[in-house]
Amino acid sequence: MIPPTPLPRMRGGVVGATSALTGIAAHAAAQGMLPETSVLLLIAAASTALGLAVTAAPRLHALPALIAGQALVHVLLVLTSGHHHDLVSTPMAVMHTLGTIAAVLLLTGAGMLLRAASALALRVAVPQFRPQTPPSSFPVSVAPATAPVALLFLGAIGRRGPPISV
């Protein structure tokens, strides 16, 4: 498995957190009170699972994930609150919509900022930490052969010799 990069992690965290926060705020605005602690823990667990699912699927776009998160939190809060007749109200719908728009804007801006910062960091850090290339060969000064040219030309004397034993 390839570990996720910072951008999908950030997207998963923002999707999970904004789904929970705006869902709870929407229901508090519509019903006038916050849910019980056990329901808040259930919402936190569901939002964490949603954030992990978004992190694991980096090709998933933010808007469908946010809409799914809002729907998940909304359904959980309606089922656990006992107010099934308040399935949709105007303040609740406005809060869900505003939360989704704010999260999309936050994700877009944070993604642009993360890409720009990482490109700048690579541009600055890579030239300074480039490893030194070792020389491929060491220059060796060798005296030219001292055999007469005539003997070399006739093939009587070669440049090969017996192996050197150490």
What percentage of residues in the chain have a pLDDT greater than 70? Answer: 70
pLDDT level of residue 77 (50, 70, 90 thresholds):
confident
What pTM did the predictor assign? 0.61
Task: Name the nearest CA neighbour of 7 among 64, 67, 42, 55.
Answer: 55
Residue 42's pLDDT is 92
Q: DSSP class of residue 85?
A: G
Mean pLDDT of 137-143: 63
Radius of gyration of the chain from Cα atoms? 35
First to last CA, the chain: 53
